[in-house]
Amino acid sequence: DSGVTQTPKHLITATGQRVTLRCSPRSGDLSVYWYQQSLDQGLQFLIQYYNGEERAKGNILERFSAQQFPDLHSELNLSSLELGDSALYFCASSRSWADGELFFGEGSRLTVL
Amino acid sequence: AQTVTQSQPEMSVQEAETVTLSCTYDTSENNYYLFWYKQPPSRQMILVIRQEAYKQQNATENRFSVNFQKAAKSFSLKISDSQLGDTAMYFCAFMKHVNNYGQNFVFGPGTRLSVLP
C-alpha cells in the first residue's frame, strides 16, 4: 500500500459527460501528479501540483482541469468526454516538488461508452 | 524533448534465472534521475530502483541492480534469481525538472516480463 488513495476505482460513463477523479496523497506529501495510461500511449504526464500551486503541465487537454485543495487532496475534472479518453488515470505524490520519487495510487479506470 | 525507449516489448525468463531489461533515454540535461517502476497485474505502480545521474556507482536493491552508462544514455535493469512475483510490466522513467519549480517524469513504453515456473 503506497498510501495514495484514488476514488473511484472504476467509472463508466457516456460521451459528452463530465467526471471528477479524486486523489489523496500520502501523509506529509505536498506534491501531486496526474498521469493517463492508455493502451496505445503508455503513461502520459498530465499535470503537477505542489502545495496548491500548479508547477508543471504536460499534454493535458483543455477539456481537462485539475486543482489541489488546502488539505492537499487533488481532483482531476474531465469534461465533454470522448471515447479516446477511456484510460487508467493515476495519481502520484511526492514529498516535495523536486523529490525524485513518486508513490502511485491504484488508479481510476475510466470507460467512456 | 526527453524521450525514453525500451526496445523489448516482451520478455520471459525461467524462475531463478537472471534477466536484463534495456532502457535508453535522450536528454541534454546533466542532472536528472532515472527509475524503474513495475506494474503487476494488480496495476499498482511500484518503485523498483532509482539512480541519480551524478552518482557513478550503480544502484542496487536486493535482487535488482542497474547498469547506468551515462555517456551512452543507457539504464538497464538486471533481475537476479527471478521469482514468479516479478511477473509484471516494467517501466523505465526519466525525471526532469521543469521551470525550476516543478518536475515531470517521462516513462518509456514498458517491457512485459513473464517469469516462467
Nearest by CB to residue B101, choosing from A2, A35, A97, is A97
Q: What integer pLDDT is reported at residue A40 of this predicted model?
A: 62
- If one compares A42 and B112, the residue with the highest pLDDT of the two is B112
How many other C-beta atoms can be found within 10 angstroms of the C-beta atom of residue A60?
A: 16
Q: What integer pLDDT is reported at residue A42 of this predicted model?
A: 78
Confidence of residue B20 (pLDDT cuts 50, 70, 90): very high
Tell me the range of A48-62, A84-98, B8-22 where mean pLDDT is highest: B8-22
**Amino acid (one-letter) located at B79:** I
**Amino acid (one-letter) located at B18:** T
Contact B102 A97 (CB under 8 A): yes
Closest residue on chain A to B53 (Cα)? A100
Q: Which of residues 25-44 of B touch A (CB under 8 A)?
A: 33, 35, 37, 42-44
Q: What integer pLDDT is reported at residue A99 of this predicted model?
A: 65
Quickly list DSSP for A47-110. Answer: EEEETTEEEEE-S--TTEEEEE-TTS-EEEEE-S--GGG-EEEEEEEESSTT-S--EE---EEE
Closest residue on chain B to A109 (Cα)? B43
Chain A residues within an 8 Å CB radius of B47: 101-103
Classify residue B91 as exposed, middle or buried by CB count within 10 Å of its CB (0-12, 13-18, 19+): buried
Contact A56 B110 (CB under 8 A): no
Confidence of residue B4 (pLDDT cuts 50, 70, 90): very high
Nearest by CB to residue A42, choosing from B33, B42, B107, is B107
Contact of A61 with A76, CB cutoff 8 Å: no
Contact A42 B109 (CB under 8 A): yes
Contact A2 B44 (CB under 8 A): yes
Contact of A50 with B101, CB cutoff 8 Å: yes
CA distance A20 to A11: 10
pLDDT per position as a tens digit, B25-59: 998 888 888 999 999 988 888 999 999 888 889 99
The share of chain B scoring above pLDDT 70, in percent, equals 98
Look up residue A44 and give its three cell numbers.
502520459
Q: How large is the average pLDDT for residues A78-102?
A: 89
Contact of B101 with A51, CB cutoff 8 Å: no
B109 in contact with A at a CB cutoff of 8 Å? Answer: yes
pLDDT over 90 (residue A81): yes
Q: What is the dihedral of CA A2, B95, A57, B109, to 10 degrees?
A: -80
B95 in contact with A at a CB cutoff of 8 Å? Answer: yes
Contact B106 A98 (CB under 8 A): no
Q: Give just the sign of the alpha carbon dihedral B51, B28, B69, A46.
A: positive
